[in-house]
């Protein structure tokens, strides 16, 4: 068996990224746990923008995967990924369940790929 499991190709770029992200993320995790007593809490000026990190980042990760700006409005909107994403989004809103959201989104995508356009 070849492929990912058999891959032994050295990838320094990936390792540099992994170690750098890991070190900085650990610093974030440790920050106040380490400093408590010397710093009592997050200053309000830092706290306020942090509240918007999850919705802003998650939306920036999701939307470009569902929508690619096309030459025209119909070309942009008639996309199997967007339809699957909208249906999955409705399921996420109703259930707040990761598994149900993935199952629905993949199901709609496969419906388009293997049934509608087959």
Looking only at residues 51 through 90 of this chain, which bind other proteins when binding is defined by CB under 8 A?
Answer: 51-69, 81, 84-85, 88-89
The minimum distance between CB 63 and other proteins, in angstroms, equals 3
The minimum distance between CB 112 and other proteins, in angstroms, equals 10
Under rule CB under 8 A, residue 111 binds other proteins: no
HSE of 43, CA atoms in CB hemisphere, 13 A: 2
Q: How far is CA 110 from CA 32, 42, 81, 103, in A?
A: 46, 46, 10, 11
The minimum distance between CB 34 and other proteins, in angstroms, equals 7
* # residues near other proteins by CB under 8 A: 74
Tell me phi and psi for residue 45, to 5 degrees. -65, -25
- Choose which of 75, 77, 78, 102 interacts with other proteins (CB under 8 A): 102
């Amino acid at each position: 068996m070849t492929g990912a499991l058999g891959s032994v190709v050295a990838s320094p770029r990936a390792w540099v990224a992994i170690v750098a992200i890991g070190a900085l993320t650990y610093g974030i995790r440790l920050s106040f746990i380490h400093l408590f007593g010397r710093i009592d809490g997050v200053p309000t000026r830092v706290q306020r923008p942090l509240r918007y990190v999850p919705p802003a980042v998650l939306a920036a990760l999701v939307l470009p995967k569902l929508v690619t700006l096309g030459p025209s409005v119909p070309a942009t909107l008639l996309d199997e990924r967007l339809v699957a994403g909208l249906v999955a989004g409705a399921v996420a809103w109703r259930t707040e369940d990761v598994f149900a959201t993935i199952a629905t989104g993949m199901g709609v995508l496969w419906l388009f790929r293997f049934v509608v356009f087959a």
